Structure 1
């Protein structure tokens, strides 16, 4: 799952193209400097001179000289206004590689030349997808519109799709943005395009999100949250165990940190490989991958209940397994019951329908400290975090945790004694 998301154009080919605006002309090498809007800032993304006819070059040069607003070294600067379409091979270090002029975009507003739109216009998605209302605001502060959100999905697709693959998908949609009404969607709507794959289960036609086109189509429907079961469609056995550490309020997040640290001690002592992640809300979740088709939900329940009971017994003032909120008394709820057939969990890298554009972000264990703040893990931060291509869960599906079977067998034997 390693993939450098800040370089989605890393595969060199000749068919990338996009719209950019002119920001200057270099008298040194006779190139036209171009920019794009990224994270609400104008950034220089390259320069071009190939592809221009002589008369086009002369007209463009005169336009820049006549409308210049200053000079930086040997570059005559100009305010953004002229938009051009440029073909290129790739982007390296945020600079276009082998840019070639294709045409002027006289009817385009320069503010429409954004990095997110560049991504969406170049990712390989099905032709049936028509992105609607890209300007629609989803989150207000920081402001995230639909175009920003879809570009986020495109960039994190290599990380999220392995978790969505072959799983019955439940989404939460926010058609009018986070401040509007929301609803759960399990059934695939009748208007879904033909490429959308579905599987019927208990009379419900679930969407199976195996590919980028499906992910972007769902995003365009403003499916903000992606919830997945613990098993794939071809098995009744879980492929992972997940503990949900649910504090009573966001101010009690330190309780989730404490619970996670205590769990790590236990899992390490059992030689179990585990992966923490922020829920994207007010808690943490701990994932434990297991070998496919080996353990039933009844067997994993022996383990999850054992861990939860142990922690509650050790820290009765901090943790509880009481399902009724009114009876928890400010303690963190160790939700092991949620791990069961027919239940779901928020998918790693899914956004959440909260006030902030928070993300269910996988973490490294050494990041679980008292300084951890879930509010910091929002869309822009997560994209920047993954810019190197490193994901804490990059080897998740390679793990089988064989020691878990000995633990569960021991729990079975102990249970049979009573």
Structure 2
């Protein structure tokens, strides 16, 4: 195992999975969900001894443009019945539009499941050069996941338990897949957690089970090396013990408790009233994704005008988070007022599609420009944190230029992030080298 170097990033930790490839017959498609266009997922099959077998649905790897183009290609091939045996159960079958099994595509996938379905399929492209009958199953051995394992990090030992428990039922993703992601991505995530109080969002039985938030922990029940700090809550002045996550062992321990997402304060326990970051949260509330991107681009123009280095990430749910590295120069009140000032200017340019109103009833269907994240004790999903959402999406730092591309928030998942950082630079690599001068920035408007 590569050595973990605190505060340093190393490509040695990008232990991406070997990817298998499979040609598949397109047998149908599901309805588009949320902000998707075209369709949700392709229903795939393959031939075994001349019989068409269902091998799963593929909903990731598509660009927005591809979804529209593929739907146009499939539309003339619709049929009323499924091309598999009547008894075959297909995921989201009630939402499927069936097509003649004539078109072939190729997908990457992690492995075959025990019932011969593709695990984590990712669309690679159409294969116009292949006949449907040539798409036969290419079975490779199923990789069984250990129920538990021990990770030794220096003098710290973390036991990872129930790794084979399904956390994302539709995708077949297990707790162990989530833990492997955090183990691989620790160097990218940990700088944003350093010395910040952590709130856990625990899903001990996966995203379909009961969940609960936990801030207060009992130090005596934790390993001796787990760091906690007593912090006074701003609401009722009660003192509670927060976890601090400064190393990989702590991160894995927290994730092993079923905390799918890692939420932290914007300030450290050392200077709790002085945030490291200011954040503007763009919450779409069902608004068209293209308009959401347009609003984000307006934010970028305003930041550029004020010569402010801003950084953007997906929320991992449906929106964007825009970060400013204020680096403990100002208190929360000043930072919040400045973010509100920016939000108001954005609203002035998008008055019909955005709102600063906190009351939900007064901003239904409008993009909420949430500046109230900038408060002591408020937590937010950390950059590179997994979210308890379908597809195991990740709150992902992106380049501003990617807003001009056919990106979808659902494209950024625990399956795609490792390869993304293997082939792309980290969009936030320079964030800690920047510092926002709010007083100087105001003079630019």
TM-score by length of 2: 0.65
1:416 alignment partner in structure 2: none
- The structural deviation recorded for 1:123 is 6.0
What is residue 158 of structure 2 aligned with on the other side? 129
Measure, in 2, the Cα distance between the counterparts of 1:261 and 1:5: 35
Shift in Å at residue 199 of structure 1? 0.3
> Aligned pair 1:288/2:318, yes or no?
no
Matches within 5 A, 1:395-406: 395-402=430-437, 404-406=438-440
User: 1:377: Cα distance to partner?
Assistant: 0.8
1:374 aligns with 2:434: no
Give the Cα separation in 1 of the matches to 2:213 and 2:282. 23
> Which residue of the partner structure matches residue 301 of structure 2?
265
Matched, 1:252 2:288: yes
CA contact (8 A) 2:150 2:159 kept: no
**Residue matched to 2:57:** none
Deviations 1:132-173 (A, max 9, x none): 111001112322111111110010000000011100001100
1:389 to 1:6, Cα distance in 2 relative to 1, 3 A: farther
Preserved CA contact (<8 Å) 1:3 1:389 = no
SS at match of 2:188: helix
Matches within 5 A, 1:356-395: 356-369=391-404, 371-388=406-423, 390-395=425-430
Determine if the alignment matches structure 1 residue 240 to structure 2 residue 277: yes
Determine the C-alpha separation between the residues in 2 that align with 1:389 and 1:311: 30
Computed over aligned residues only, the root mean square deviation of the Cα atoms, in angstroms, reads 2.7
Give the C-alpha shift of residue 176 in structure 1: 0.7
1:384 deviates by 1.2
Deviation per CA, 1:375-405, whole angstroms, max 9, x where unpaired? 1111101111112473111121111133x33
Q: Which has the higher helix share?
A: 1
- Cα distance in 2 for residues equivalent to 1:113 and 1:178: 20
- Where does 1:166-205 land on structure 2 (aligned, <5 Å)? 166-189=195-218, 190-202=220-232, 203-205=239-241
| CA deviation map 1:253-303 (0-9, x unaligned) | 3332121100000001111111100000010010011233x2122221231
Q: Say whether the 8 Å CA contact 1:257–1:370 is kept in structure 2.
A: no
- Give distance in 1, aligned partners of 2:390 and 2:268: 31
User: 1:7-406, aligned counterparts within 5 Å?
Assistant: 7=14, 39-40=110-111, 111-112=143-144, 124=153, 128-189=157-218, 190-202=220-232, 203-235=239-271, 236-249=273-286, 252-292=288-328, 294-369=329-404, 371-388=406-423, 390-402=425-437, 404-406=438-440
Aligned length: 313
SS of 1:275's partner is strand
8 Å Cα contact 1:352/1:359 also seen in 2: yes
CA contact under 8 A between 2:199 and 2:263: conserved in structure 1?
A: yes
> SS of 2:312's equivalent?
strand
- Partner residue in 2 for 1:61: none
Distance 1:336 1:259, change over 3 A: same
> What CA distance in whole angstroms lies between the structure 2 residues aligned with 1:163 and 1:6?
18
The answer to whether the 8 Å contact 1:243/1:335 transfers is yes
| CA distance 1:391–1:329, shift in 2 (3 Å) | same
- Aligned partners of 1:217 and 1:233: how far apart in 2? 20
CA contact (8 A) 2:308 2:441 kept: no
Q: Cα distance 1:384–1:123, how it changes in 2: closer, same or farther (>3 A)?
A: farther
For residues 171 and 359 of structure 1, what CA distance do their matches in structure 2 show? 16
Shift of 1:207: 0.2
Please tell me whether Structure 1 or Structure 2 has the larger radius of gyration of its CA atoms. Answer: 1
Conserved 8 A contact 2:373-2:379: yes
Structure 1 pair 256–2 and aligned structure 2 pair: CA distance change class (3 A): farther
Consecutive unaligned residues in structure 2, runs of 5 or more:
1-7, 17-108, 114-139, 233-238
